[in-house]
Every structure is written in C-alpha cells, then in structure tokens.
Structure 1
C-alpha cells in the first residue's frame, strides 16, 4: 500500500513483484525449504544435454546423468 501511495513507477513495480511472490516468500520464511538444489540439478541436466549432441544413444546420456548425480552429492 505504501509503495502504491508514493505513485512512483519503480515502487509500484516492486509492490507488484512482491505481491506475486508473497506465497513463496512466506513459505520459505516459515519452513526454510527452497528449490535451489533442484534448480541446480536441472541446470546440470540441461548443460549435459547441450554437450551431448553426438552421444551414441539415450542409454549413454542417462549414464552420464547418473555420473553427474554422484558428483553432486
């Protein structure tokens, strides 16, 4: 309410951003759970997929992903 009362476009943008993410912010504050580790794993999979053009088959690709999961632990 304060941000919108100031009538500055930057504050209004920030207020809307906070409002859209309020549920996630509250959940993290209450439970301390985040998706950071999952996002990191997804990033490794995407990177490996980009590097993987030319792999002989899908089985080799999945073996590479299993090897990556061991390195992440």
Structure 2
C-alpha cells in the first residue's frame, strides 16, 4: 500500500473483500431486494406464531403470507 492514510486503507480493504460481488452486480444487475423481503416475511411469521404445532403448518402459513392480497 502506497499510503499511510487509514481511511484509504480501510476503503481499499473494503473493495478487496467485496470485489467479486461488485463485479457480479455490474455484469448481471441482479438485486437481492426480493430475497431480503422474503427473509423478512419468514422472520415476521415466525415471531407472530409463538411456536407452531408442526413444520407443515408453518409452511402453510408462509405460503398464505406470500400470496398477493386480492381486493374484491
């Protein structure tokens, strides 16, 4: 490293550690926003449930929560 400035060194380490992800985003333009939204929905359902009787019921609740709400 050619500098002693800790801010530049911190930024250089940040770029090095995330370089592959930065290049992939520039090439493919894929966002993780939808995935983060799904993870948030799962965590919210788990918090609301206070323990479900079995996994099958939990997955049914997740499918129900993930459906788009219809307004008639």
Answer 1 or 2: higher relative contact order, Cα 8 Å, separation at least 6: 2
1:18 to 15, 22, 25: 15
After superposition, what is the alpha-carbon deviation per residue over 1:24-71, rounded to whole angstroms, capped at 9, x for unaligned?
110110111122211210121012112211434433321210012213
The equivalences for 1:1-73 within 5 A come to 4-71=1-68
TM-score by length of 2: 0.76
RMSD: 2.0
Aligned residues: 69
